[in-house]
Chains A and B, each alone.
Chain A
Amino acid sequence: SAVISQKPSRDICQRGTSLTIQCQVDSQVTMMFWYRQQPGQSLTLIATANQGSEATYESGFVIDKFPISRPNLTFSTLTVSNMSPEDSSIYLCSVRGYYQETQYFGPGTRLLVL
């Protein structure tokens, strides 16, 4: 199984600022995803991070608000831009390896926006 780390693990931010979350995997993976989990809710897919090209966003999520980078097969960043209290959530990085069905998740970044 893949070992995934995220930084920061948690943060408290002011309205209007931006936060970049990093995701590092210990092995090369095909697919990297970013999910959001709002308080007391299930997980919602934000986007698929594509290596060397623009991320693929799900309905309701846009690049200006959630820019994503994936410079190589083991690293990705998600930025939450111009934050509002509604962005307070857990943000989770997830990966899937070559020819693998199982999808693994990082420990999450707990964000509180004041």
Chain B
Amino acid sequence: EPEVTQTPSHQVTQMGQEVILRCVPISNHLYFYWYRQILGQKVEFLVSFYNNEISEKSEIFDDQFSVERPDGSNFTLKIRSTKLEDSAMYFCASSEFQGSSYEQYFGPGTRLTVT
């Protein structure tokens, strides 16, 4: 069964450093998303991406964040200058988002620890 994959599973970085989190969405999906989950809290939407551009973003997704689809399979989230409060699980998701299917399928996540 197709699934969303994410790398790395765990990333430790120092405050102020740049990180890139990588995702491979399900191959026939058209919409891609990043969410984050601070330990013990609910999952929060960051950004959605369609047709090579951001289609929707939350107030969390400020100028420190960017997303890119560098090739036909990868989808990345870059944090330019990490802060302690960026420590969280980051989930990539993908969806067909057409017809009657708005189901979003999540990857296993990348645990980002900023020290």
- Is the pairing of A and B real? no
Q: Which residues of B contact A (CB under 8 A)?
A: none
